[in-house]
Structure 1
Amino acid sequence: MSARKNPTGQQLQISDGEHVAVVTEVGANLRSYRVGDRDVITPFDQDELPPASHGAVLVPWPNRIGDGTYEWDGKTYRLPLTEHAPRLTALHGLVCWTRWDVVEHTASSVTLAHDLVPNPGYPWALHSEITYTVSHDGLEVALTTSNESDDDAPYGTGFHPWLSPGGADLDECTLRIDAERHVTIDDRLLPTGTEKADGAWDFTEHRSLKDVALDDAFVGITRNAKGLSWIELTAPDGRTAAVWTDESMDTWQVCTGDGLVGADRTGVAAEPMTCIADAFRTGQRLIRLAPEQEHTVRWGLVLR
């Protein structure tokens, strides 16, 4: 299929030995990442749309904005609703379905750029550049966004990889999350507060996912001596697909995809984010990006 007819545009493969990843021109999505014959993330085919934001880059906000309406510096803005009744939210930012420009493509790395133009719901100009790099250590991602407007812009970002169970049933896998607090939510999946992540929400040690359904955020994240926070999905084959973030992001969103078309328990969405849902309305963890200011985040994936 030609790039012109392909719904996700050019397929940009990068590799280093057994590590092979494919990034799409549309959305700069991470479509696949494998080590040898084992998927690290749940892939989607090049001739299909990402089924449940698989591999998406979330700019200028991750997750949901309730009613698509928010206030910023005394003005009210309204975004198109992309998640319909009963939730009625603006979901996952504004760059998922747009073409990114390929800046550089080498054997093991690819950089793409995107210019977000002002619109009535988000009247700020942002320039984003993302680089994916594979090595024998895994896959690393770095995103830098700068504000090219004359005024401060509200900003958040996140990413949407689905960790792969390696062909196993998710009920046969275990999950571990480096986080000590669980975000409570209403029936629209918008946050209402936080609580200690104990009982059903305690994933600080590996727990079975049998009969466990998640679409939840976790904060109070913990880090190792290198400043990295992790989510690990271990399958019956003994392999662990894991995602990490450095100190640039401090929120995890975790979803098992129950009931989602094309993603019903086919993996675990392990999403590093700078803020929880509804940050544009609550201001919690929301970034105020000044004119010409840059903001950079870094995360990655490994297979153990």
Structure 2
Amino acid sequence: MSNQITIGSVRLRATLSRNGARLETLHLDGGPSLVLHADADQHPGWRDCYPGAIVGPIANRVRGGTFDLDGRRYQMPCNENGVTALHSGPDGIDRQDWALTEQQDSLVAFRLELADGMGGLPGARQVDVVYEITGATLRLEVSMTTERPTPAAFVHHPYWRLGHASAHKLQINATHYLPIDAQNLPTGALAPVANTAFDHRTAAAPHPVIDHNFCISNTRVEPAHPVATLTGADGLRLRIDSTEPGLQVYAGVFLPTLPGTGIEPGAGLALEPQGWPDAVNHQGFPSVLCTPERPYRQITLYHLDTVT
């Protein structure tokens, strides 16, 4: 069985990989890939940037990798100098080879079984990911069931490049963002975007310093609702709808330079619908708790078109 899978419609074509349930490339109307891509065998460090992968079970950063649940403290493996667990540590689900459970011309489904205690988290869990293309829209569904209460905050992590990144204009449906400390962890405060570099209520070029969560809502909401719009060169436009209460935006300032790929610092923009980062340690943040009675489900839609 090939590790690379292709799905598509007349307008949109995607290649995916079982490793990390990863979106490798995405082409609109036969054009270049709209997500950054490099051969991981030739550039092994590229996977350390989480390109196109499903990340979790707790995406983003957890302070000290620790949290309390039902009177017990849990320790996740840390991978940022022992200070934080980033994207669930060094062996998160982005590093795993997922089972292929279904494949059609326009749809592919992956599954990953997580044992109780894996990644320092409680509960035997089953994670399912479905990518489906209809017209010029890529639909992503991430779901998880668990035998015990456990945190769940998954992220899809492509780096978008609509033409040249210098042409990007980003609009975000958020009035507040989460300030961060020296470890890139939320301080716990919410700050208004007005009169700051984080004001994307109207379309603006992303500031290189951005690696922050924008507060879209106070809870996960279905159906998926408009979160952000990215416009690039030649009128290319991406609109993201999602059920998730937050959107992490990373301007890619620390991306590596990979010769022959077009990848360099600032070459792509990560737009990640998510639960708010470090929510397991902030009671005032939207809950990321998944239980047997309340399974996890994220739906994110990537709508692509060209503005004339």
Question: Normalising by the residue count of structure 2, what TM-score does the alignment of the two structures yield?
Answer: 0.85
Q: Is the CA contact 1:163–1:242 (under 8 Å) kept in the aligned structure 2?
A: no
The 1-side partners of 2:224 and 2:288 are apart by 21
Match of 2:214 in 1: 218
Letter in 1 for 2:33: D
> Given residue 203 of structure 1, which amino acid in structure 2 is its aligned partner?
H
Q: Which amino acid aligns with 1:133?
A: E
Task: State the alpha-carbon separation in 1 of the partners of residues 279 and 17 from structure 2.
Answer: 28
Structure with more of its chain in strand, by fraction: 1
Distance (Å, rounded) in 2 between the aligned partners of 1:178 and 1:42: 24
**1:201 counterpart (185, 193, 198):** 198
Distance 2:40 2:180 in 1: 35
Asked whether 1:132 is paired with 2:131, we answer yes
Partner deviation per Cα, 1:227-284 (whole Å, 9 max, x = no partner): 5123222223221233221xx31100001111232551111100000x2211122242
- Separation (CA, whole Å) in 1 of partners of 2:156 and 2:253: 19
For 1:278, give the aligned amino acid. Answer: D
Distance 1:24 1:235 in 2: 26
Match of 2:99 in 1: 101
With over 3 angstroms needed to count, the CA separation of the structure-2 counterparts of 1:38 and 1:240, relative to structure 1, is: farther
State the Cα RMSD in Å.
2.2
Cross-structure match for 2:246: 251
What amino acid maps onto 2:288 in structure 1? I
Q: For 2:79 and 2:287, locate their aligned partners in 1 and report how far apart those are by CA, in whole Å.
A: 21
Q: Distance in 2 between matches of 1:140 and 1:174?
A: 23
String of CA shifts for 1:112-146, please: whole Å, max 9, x gaps: 11101122621311101111011213110111110
Equivalent residue of 1:140, what SS?
strand
Amino acid at match of 1:103: T
The alignment status of 1:43 with 2:42, answered yes or no, reads no
Inter-partner Cα distance in structure 2 for 1:242 and 1:83: 32
The 3 A distance-change label for structure 1 pair 64 and 71 is same
Letter in 1 for 2:24: R
Query: Is contact 2:9–2:136 with CA below 8 Å preserved after alignment?
Result: no
How far 1:156 moved relative to its partner?
1.9
Q: Secondary structure at the match of 1:99?
A: coil
Q: Secondary structure in 2 aligned to 1:42?
A: coil
Structure 1 segment 81-230 matched on structure 2, within 5 A: 81-84=78-81, 88-93=83-88, 94-119=92-117, 121-147=120-146, 149=147, 151-166=148-163, 168=164, 170-192=165-187, 193-199=189-195, 200-209=197-206, 212-221=208-217, 228-230=225-227
Deviations 1:77-110 (A, max 9, x none): 111112226xx21111331101110001111110
- In the TM superposition, what whole-angstrom CA distance separates every residue of 1:10-30 from its partner, at most 9, and x where no partner exists? 111111113111111111011
**Structure 1 unaligned regions, length at least 5:** 4-9
How far apart are the structure 1 equivalents of 2:208 and 2:85? Answer: 27
- Structure 2 unaligned segments of length 5 or more: list them: 258-263
Q: Distance in 1 between matches of 2:288 and 2:205?
A: 35
> Aligned residue pairs: how many?
284
Which residue does 1:78 correspond to in 2? 75
Amino acid at match of 2:253: D
Query: CA separation in 2, counterparts of 1:26 and 1:208?
Result: 32
After TM superposition, give the deviation of residue 221 of structure 1 in Å.
4.6
Residue 224 of structure 2 contacts residue 299 of structure 2 at CA under 8 Å; is this kept in 1? Answer: no
What SS is found at the alignment partner of 1:50?
A: helix
CA apart distance, 1:164: 1.2
TM-score by length of 1: 0.86
Task: Assess if the C-alpha contact under 8 Å between 2:216 and 2:227 holds in 1.
Answer: no
Which residue identity does 2:211 align to in structure 1?
A: D
1:12 equivalent in structure 2: 5
Give me the identity figure in percent: 24
**1:160 alignment partner AA:** H
**For 2:229, what is the secondary structure of its paired residue?**
strand
The CA distance in 1 between the partners of 2:55 and 2:245, in whole Å, is 15
The alpha-carbon distance between structure 1 residues 287 and 236, as it changes in their structure 2 partners (threshold 3 A), is: closer
Distance 1:239 1:165 in 2: 6
